[in-house]
Structure 1
Amino acid sequence: MSSIGWAESYLGQLRALAGDRTLMFVGARAVVRDDAGRVLLIQRSDNGYWAMPAGAMELGESIAACATREVWEETGLRSTVVTPFALYTGPDRTFTNMYGDTYQLFVVAFRVDVWEGELLTVTDETTDAAFYRYDQFPTPLSSTVAETLADLAFFEETGQTVLK
């Protein structure tokens, strides 16, 4: 699995063509837990926030493959079984990033059921990574973490996919 830079990515190429228009961002977010039930968080190198592995889907890739690739790129772990549990869509999911680019998100959240490998704490996209108990999350924490974990708990209790 190889990592590509922003300029070569589908979204990077599309941004170069579209200028400052709002773009659709199709991507995946992954919840990785260890045997003790702790959640894997990565510290993003671009903004310093702690978040779950996540990113944009590339052309020629499925959304599940996107989740698997993002986990690998950001942590060095290989996800072998993933389960989708939530979809985040709609105009209320529009945001402008630190570079001034605006996106409307369509993100699928996945539970990583089986993974292998050794955790890398520093990658091209991360400055740290570790498993944390829910009551010991580091700061600054991405606003997506609490919502995603609540939606995963709902999914695990009911078996119903969360649609937002």
Structure 2
Amino acid sequence: MGPLSYLPRSILGVAQEIVRHLLKRPVVGVAVAARTDDGRWLLIRRADTGTWALPGGTVEWGETLRTTVVRELDEEAGVDDVTIGPIVGVFSRPDRDIRFHAVTIVVTARVAEPSRPPKNRLEIREARLFRDEDLPAPLAMGMDDMLAAARRGEVVFE
């Protein structure tokens, strides 16, 4: 007998149904099109793919989007000084991320230069500032159009 065998079938059925629905829901996250005062873009190099990406991540339980933006810039890029700007858009194409269906809210921000390395080097290898002419491509997770929209000042609803 398994560890859950003592539970009535009805409770197990309800639990399985709840898990099924939870796992089928999109994950909400943020990505930040962040620039320094001199116009350089802040990107992070992902450890899993080795490619560059906008900093960002999923919203944690009990967190506001604003708090998520500040936390992710701190954790992934070592940035303390953040002024959040306008929303670039909402990107929800299911094929962007192979791990799950993400709904990503992209915002702009003015940031200071990173003051320390990423906190989790197993997730993020490095953070770096790029001038427009030096931006790497392609970006991870289909983020090229997110950055392009931010560069054009365009608002996207996908």
After TM superposition, the score normalised by the length of structure 2 is 0.71
Q: 1:20 touches 1:102 (CA, 8 Å); kept in 2?
A: no
Write out aligned runs for 1:61-72 (5 A): 61-72=63-74
CA distance in structure 2 between the partners assigned to 1:87 and 1:29 by the alignment: 10
Measured on the aligned residues, the alpha-carbon RMSD in Å equals 2.8
Q: CA deviation at 1:111?
A: 1.1
Q: Write the letter of the residue equivalent to 1:93.
A: P
CA distance in structure 1 between the partners assigned to 2:111 and 2:120 by the alignment: 21
Q: 1:85 touches 1:162 (CA, 8 Å); kept in 2?
A: no
Q: Write the letter of the residue equivalent to 2:117.
A: L
Task: Tell me the equivalent position of 2:3.
Answer: none
Instruction: Provide, for residues 71-102 of structure 1, a one-character-per-residue CA deviation record: whole Å limited to 9, x for no partner.
Output: 11101112432124233244x334453xxx43
Task: Tell me the equivalent position of 1:162.
Answer: 156
DSSP 3-state at the match of 2:60:
coil
Q: CA deviation at 1:21?
A: 4.5
Q: 1:43 touches 1:127 (CA, 8 Å); kept in 2?
A: yes
Q: CA deviation at 1:106?
A: 1.6
Q: Which has the higher strand share?
A: 1
- Give the number of equivalent residue pairs: 139
Write out aligned runs for 1:114-153 (5 A): 114-115=111-112, 118-120=115-117, 123-124=120-121, 125-138=123-136, 141-142=139-140, 144-153=142-151
Q: Unaligned regions of 5+ residues in structure 1, if any?
A: 1-16
CA distance in structure 2 between the partners assigned to 1:83 and 1:65 by the alignment: 14
After TM superposition, the score normalised by the length of structure 1 is 0.69
Q: Unaligned regions of 5+ residues in structure 2, if any?
A: 1-18
Q: Write the letter of the residue equivalent to 2:148.
A: A
Larger-Rg structure: 2
